[in-house]
Amino acid sequence: MKLNIQTYHKLAGKYLKYQFSLYPMRFTISHELQIAIMQLHQSNTDTMFSLRQVISLKNVNDIYCLLRSMFESVVNIGILVSAKLADGARRFLDFQYLEVYKIYDHLKQLEPDFVNKVYSSQAIKLIADRRNSFISQYGNINNWCNMNLIERIRLIDKEFPETCSNKKFYEYLYCQVYRKGSGAVHRSSTGLGRSTVWTKTIFRNMNFIEPSPNIDHLVFASIHSLIVYLSSIRFVGQILEGKREEIESFYQKETAHIIAGKEK
């Protein structure tokens, strides 16, 4: 798709407007699961607003970083709405106590006096109790669902209708979004090389190397950010009363237009 910044803003605005038109949302799930899913979707909406600014600045590396983060958030929504994970919402929400405890425990080893000033005794007890409760139920696992990212993605591809006749659509996004985004997040040579084009110029018999945004990757990442955000809307649609078919149709149509390089 030949995408310029004006077109990107037009499409991003269209998708943001569409998701806001879904409010007030009527859910068909528990309140706890609503909180978990809407935390993720709201963060994706916030990211889309940020992306519109970052894309205008042509900061390719930052686009990849934000896109990678949004993709992982979308995958977590997909797992939650698939209902394939017992106690999914509780696990997602309470895993935070394992993460917070790791920070607390490490700081305590470095500087006990400082930690006691930052954390109250009540806060420490709450964190420790909730952490221990989580571990007793699910084990001392590395992530909230005890599945690595590619396992989650393959489950989503299996559980949801294919996109644009691609039965491994989210695994494709994993390669093109998450793995490419890793280079940007970790500032590897590969990631940095994607963000910038260096042009040699000569001025008054002196050599200069001038950086400019890599437009090919700017367009590539921008297109995929639209598709990933559409997926966030899609998965939220799975749990809205009377909206599933409408939102699934919107997702499929708009994603097909983007992939085909069409504008409406």
| HSE of 98, CA atoms in CB hemisphere, 13 A | 19
Q: Is 91 part of any domain?
A: no
pLDDT of residue 143: 96
User: Does residue 142 contact residue 131 with C-beta atoms inside 8 Å?
Assistant: no
Whether 228 shows a pLDDT value over 60: the answer reads yes
Query: Which residues form the domain of 108?
Result: 96-142
Q: Span 18-34, mean pLDDT?
A: 94
Provide the pLDDT confidence category of residue 3 given band limits of 50, 70 and 90. low
Provide the pLDDT confidence category of residue 235 given band limits of 50, 70 and 90. very high
Whether 263 shows a pLDDT value over 70: the answer reads no
Q: Span 100-128, mean pLDDT?
A: 92
pLDDT of residue 211: 87
pLDDT of residue 157: 98
Q: Is 28 part of any domain?
A: yes
CB-based burial label for 183 (10 Å; 0-12, 13-18, 19+): buried
Provide the pLDDT confidence category of residue 1 given band limits of 50, 70 and 90. very low
Provide the pLDDT confidence category of residue 124 given band limits of 50, 70 and 90. very high
Question: 182 and 230 in one domain?
Answer: yes
Give the chain's mean pLDDT: 93
Question: 82 and 25 in one domain?
Answer: yes
Question: 166 and 216 in one domain?
Answer: yes
Query: What percent of the chain is predicted at pLDDT more than 90?
Result: 83
Q: What is the per-residue pLDDT across 47-85, written as a single tens digit (0 to 9) for each?
A: 999 999 999 999 999 999 999 999 999 999 999 999 898
Whether 40 shows a pLDDT value over 90: the answer reads yes
Whether 163 shows a pLDDT value over 70: the answer reads yes
Q: Is 230 part of any domain?
A: yes
- Cα distances from 94 to residues 57, 99, 100, 121, in angstroms, run 37, 10, 10, 20
Q: Which tokens sit at 129?
A: 């109790």
- Please tell me the distance from the alpha carbon of residue 28 to that of residue 238, in angstroms, as a whole number: 9
69: nearest Cα among 155, 175, 182: 182
Among 142, 159, 176, the domain-final residue is 142
- Please tell me the distance from the alpha carbon of residue 17 to that of residue 43, in angstroms, as a whole number: 16
Give buried/exposed letters for 214-251 (b at 16+ CB in 10 A, else e): beebbbbbbbbbbbbbbbbbbbbbbbbeebeeebbebb
User: Does residue 218 contact residue 4 with C-beta atoms inside 8 Å?
Assistant: no
DSSP 176-234: IIIIHHHHHHTT-HHHHHHHEEEEEEEETTEEEEEEEE-HHHHHHHHHHHHHHHHHHHH
DSSP 36-70: HHHHHHHHHHHHHHHHHHHHHHT-HHHHHHHHHHH
CB-based burial label for 186 (10 Å; 0-12, 13-18, 19+): exposed
**Into how many domains does the chain fold?**
2
Q: Is 228 part of any domain?
A: yes
Residues, the chain = 264
pLDDT of residue 200: 81
Query: What percent of the chain is predicted at pLDDT more than 70?
Result: 98
Whether 109 shows a pLDDT value over 60: the answer reads yes
The pTM score is 0.92
Q: What is the per-residue pLDDT across 178-208, written as a single tens digit (0 to 9) for each?
A: 999 999 999 999 998 899 998 888 777 788 8
Question: 135 and 246 in one domain?
Answer: no
- Please tell me the distance from the alpha carbon of residue 213 to that of residue 112, in angstroms, as a whole number: 46
